[in-house]
A and B are shown apart, each in its own frame.
Chain A
Amino acid sequence: MDATAVSRADIAASAPVKVVARGVDVYYGDKHALKDVSVAIPERSIMAFIGPSGCGKSTFLRCLNRMNDTISICRVTGSIVIDGADIYDTAVDPVELRSRVGMVFQKANPFPKSIFENVAYGPRIHALAATKADLDAIVESSLRKASLWDEVKDRLHDSGTGLSGGQQQRLCIARTIAINPSIILMDEPCSALDPIATARIEELMEELKQNYTIIIVTHSMQQAARVSQRTAFFHLGTLVEEGDTTSMFTNPREQKTQDYITGRFG
């Protein structure tokens, strides 16, 4: 049965579909890294990709904003449609796409510049602010949305690399929010953080869900269960199972999923 059809049927009642992937294959040189992945992702919700290391979940995530384009040996086939347009169409400018599909990385990677400059960079290159006041406003609102404002408002011109790990990751989220994307991709955003910082990021995701479609890759099944509405389980480059998070963790359709979430491998 077509996975897309299943998830579409699932989603239809709750929210409109934001992303539809159909038959996506990814090759790194000769290596077939992702095999025939099809999935639909609903708008304004959190979708989690789980699976053991090397299963292709991060690869798939990077297909959604064409980050894989920066790797010369990487080749993507199939179609990924966001808001009704195929993002691998030759007419699509990946740079423009990435301004709509922001990304937060596994390791916090603030620019070695001030906190303000970190957030202001995106709006600048996309000409989102006409005046300095506009820019200030965007920076403030982004930092507020990332619930970092209160902690850094007095030291906006200190280096972003001087913040703690959790703060750095929230700065990266603020930086992503500042370009006003509709989708935020998160590649294991909490893997380098302690539980308290992780909890803050999870809270933040819960809030951001109101306005953004969030897709998160995570190693932690607990995190997926806590934050996401839908979950996709990848294994060895294939999408094994995808569906409503609660039902997937309580009643998986596939044996492999069952084995993974009960800790038999992974």
Chain B
Amino acid sequence: MGAAYIIALLGLTAAAFYLGRARGAGLRTSGARAHSLPVYHGWYTGLAAAIPMLLVFTLWSPLAPRLIEHRVLSELPAALQPADDLARAAVLRDISNAAQGGALADQASPEVRQAAATFGNLTSASDWLRLAAGLGLGVFGLVWSLPQVSREFRARNHVERVVLLLLLASSAVAVLTTIGIVASLLFESLRFFAQYPWYKFLFGLQWSPQIAMREDQVGQSGAFGFIPILGGTMLITLIAMAVAAPVGLLSAIYMAEYATPRFRAIAKPLLEILAGVPTVVFGFFAALTVAPLVRAAGASIGLDVASESALAAGLVMGIMIIPFVSSLSDDVINAVPQFLRDGSYALGATKAETIKKVVLPAAFAGIVSAMMLAVSRAVGETMIVVMAAGLSGNLTFNPLDAVTTITVQIKTLLVGDQEFDSVKTLSAFALGLVLFFFTLSLNTIALKLVKKYREQYD
């Protein structure tokens, strides 16, 4: 039915467009110039038909099912009336399944079948009514707009206003996304904190989200202490940065200061390829190649390494971030004005001395912000740690142990069939909220720093 409506909408709009354009073109034969081109008159009448039809569709479509559900449920006998929202959803699912002749439709009770029949009738009536109302208003829009087409009529200005509104609405999508993220994270987190005190979350030293089925189960305490996860995240991030920061920065320095154009032309695309490798591939590499290697290397010198050691995940994450650090630092180093270098060379400094004592101090703010962005990237990275890091929240700083991270826990808590209301599921949103604000503040500070740095040399 939705498809039929959309076809009707497109058809009427096209018809209105052609009528309007033809009328606009007719103006020309009578001599003097019209204000707007025929095509704008076409757009004007087309929009006049399409907008009311779209409005009917967007208002009707979410509203009608609710009314129908309410009506159908009210017809059910009292014994079948659902007690809560969950039961209500289940009953409605049965009815809709029976109405569509789904797999178990034959087994439905007569009451449900009766309700299903009502449901089907109401739904189809609603669909027809929606089509009739939409077409009626659309045709009205066309009939209203068509006589306006005249030599003086400023169709172009009207159409351009609508286009401008569309452009504005598009740029609002980005803002809506942010609002959506913040609102959904906050909303679900508040529900979590209503069931679990926030101070225990923020400062708790134990993370074991499994909730005990029986009293005597050990370790199934349902404790949501954030500290072990934070520790694990920091540990892996630290290892990653220990790899990515020096390697990325030194690469950038070589690229910006020493490399010949030919070397750059080869090395830069290769680093870009490394940057473009999907994280799931790094995860595969970490879990199936690096982790066993690290374990074997540890065993050969008598160290007991966990098979999901922080070291393996951190090392591979470091490799992933190298091109990120190097391309950001490269930009920053290139932005250092040449006259500073010339000043140093003129005093007889070598290239390395110039870089260490002039270029890097001048680019310091930019490099710091690049590192902050890299840290934010490492903290938010999911697939490598999901595939190569552990699940249990050990509070340790031994890189050979298995630790867990914020993103791993979010994934673990939410993947699989979960009811949406359990504390366990909601805790994932609290973790998401922490992750979002942590990376947001890092990014904000980093972007501010870089802006300041840019202004310094503009």
A interface residue numbers (CB < 8 A to B): 93, 96, 125-128, 130
Contact = CB atoms under 8 A, between A and B. Distances in A.
B176 to A, nearest CB: 26
Contact of A127 (B33, B154, B157): B33
Interface of B: 28, 33-35, 37-38, 154, 157
A128 B157 CA distance: 19
A125 B37 contact: yes
B48 to A, nearest CB: 21
A93 B33 CA distance: 15
Contact of B35 (A93, A125, A128, A130): A93
A93 B154 contact: yes
Interface SS of B by simple majority? loop
Contacts, number: 13
A96 B37 contact: no
Contacts of B33: 126-128
Contacts of B35: 93, 96
Given A127-B33, A127-B37, 8 more contacts: A93-B154, A93-B157, A96-B35, A125-B37, A126-B33, A127-B28, A127-B34, A128-B33
A131 to B, nearest CB: 11
A264 B196 CA distance: 83
Contacts of A127: 28, 33-34, 37-38
A149 B445 CA distance: 60
Nearest to B33: A127
Contacts of B154: 93
Contacts of A130: 28
Contacts of B157: 93
B163 to A, nearest CB: 15
Contacts of A126: 33
B20 to A, nearest CB: 15
Nearest to B36: A127
A128 B154 CA distance: 17
B256 to A, nearest CB: 33
Nearest to B154: A93
B326 to A, nearest CB: 35
Nearest to A95: B156
Nearest to A96: B35
B29 to A, nearest CB: 8
A126 B154 CA distance: 13
6 closest A-B pairs by CB:
A127-B37, A130-B28, A127-B33, A127-B28, A125-B37, A127-B34
A151 B33 CA distance: 32
B25 to A, nearest CB: 9
Contacts of A128: 33
A116 B430 CA distance: 63
A209 B28 CA distance: 30
B36 to A, nearest CB: 9
A208 B175 CA distance: 53
A81 B157 CA distance: 24
A127 B37 CA distance: 6
Nearest to B160: A95
A228 to B, nearest CB: 32
A97 to B, nearest CB: 13
A130 B29 CA distance: 9
13 contacts: A93-B35, A93-B154, A93-B157, A96-B35, A125-B37, A126-B33, A127-B28, A127-B33, A127-B34, A127-B37, A127-B38, A128-B33, A130-B28
Contacts of B34: 127
A6 B171 CA distance: 53
A96 B157 CA distance: 12
Nearest to B34: A127
B368 to A, nearest CB: 35
A136 B340 CA distance: 59
Contacts of A125: 37
B161 to A, nearest CB: 14
A93 B157 CA distance: 10
Nearest to B39: A127
A188 B68 CA distance: 71
A127 B24 CA distance: 11
Nearest to B29: A130
A242 to B, nearest CB: 34
Max chain B Cβ within 10 angstroms of own Cβ: one of A96, A125, A127, A130: A127
Contacts of A96: 35
A89 to B, nearest CB: 15
A130 B25 CA distance: 9
Nearest to A99: B33
A85 to B, nearest CB: 16
Contacts of B37: 125, 127
Nearest to B156: A95
A129 to B, nearest CB: 10
A125 B35 CA distance: 11
A125 B38 CA distance: 10
A128 B37 CA distance: 10
B22 to A, nearest CB: 14
Nearest to A124: B37
A233 to B, nearest CB: 37
B190 to A, nearest CB: 42
A29 B255 CA distance: 44
A122 to B, nearest CB: 12
A128 B34 CA distance: 10
Contacts of B38: 127
Nearest to B27: A127
A126 B35 CA distance: 8
A128 B28 CA distance: 10
A127 B33 CA distance: 8
A128 B32 CA distance: 10
Nearest to A125: B37
Contacts of A93: 35, 154, 157
A96 B154 CA distance: 11
A70 to B, nearest CB: 14
